[in-house]
Amino acid sequence: MPITFTVHSGVQLENDIRFTLEEKPMNENITAGGRMITDSDSLAFVYLLEDESGYHYVKFGQDVWPMLVNSLQLSEDPKLQFGETEFILDKFKEELEMLIFNIEGNDNYGADFSKAVENAFREILTSAQ
């Protein structure tokens, strides 16, 4: 059964962004899934983690969107840290960028989510024009 983790904070040290989980996954074989989806009802981006049982979810709510913007401006994908374990969130930037450009002006994600994304990621969206 999938487990949902929520990121409430992160740190940036120059070109290194680390998002932290307060709760530690019970399975230590969990790895980055390299895919991202949305939870428009919760106004969140969701990164997929994998283990032998399937997918698990890491939710990035609006409180950490400023760090998501920063991560798109850096050359490396951010890391996820829980306890002593950390790993790179493979394809994080690629997946997030694809989503924000798909969401821009697209109310299929819901008008509230679309507007929130457009406002939070304005700097990224306008720099690509």
Determine, yes or no, domain membership for 119: yes
Determine, yes or no, domain membership for 42: yes
Is 80 exceeded by the pLDDT of residue 21?
yes
Determine, yes or no, domain membership for 120: yes
pLDDT at res. 129: 61
Question: 66: domain range?
Answer: 4-124
Average pLDDT value over all residues in the chain: 92
Distances (CA, A) of 33 to 4, 48, 50, 111, 113: 14, 5, 5, 28, 24
Determine, yes or no, domain membership for 73: yes
Distance CA 79, CA 88 (A): 4
pLDDT at res. 59: 97
pLDDT at res. 3: 86
Count of domains in the chain? Answer: 1
Lowest mean pLDDT among 3-12, 18-27, 82-91, 108-117: 18-27
Determine, yes or no, domain membership for 24: yes
Contacts of 35 (CB under 8 A, 6+ apart): 47, 48, 91, 95
The interaxial angle of helices 92-103 and 65-72, nearest 10 deg, is 110
Determine, yes or no, domain membership for 75: yes
The mean per-residue pLDDT over the stretch 18-37 comes to 87
- What letter does residue 7 receive in the DSSP assignment? E
Determine, yes or no, domain membership for 87: yes
Contacts of 95 (CB under 8 A, 6+ apart): 34, 35, 36, 47
The mean per-residue pLDDT over the stretch 6-15 comes to 92
pLDDT at res. 101: 96
Distances (CA, A) of 63 to 10, 33, 69, 127, 128: 10, 23, 12, 23, 24
Q: How many Å from the N-terminal Cα to the C-terminal Cα in the chain?
A: 42
Determine, yes or no, domain membership for 129: no
- pLDDT tens for residues 91-129? 999 999 999 999 999 989 999 999 999 999 999 999 876
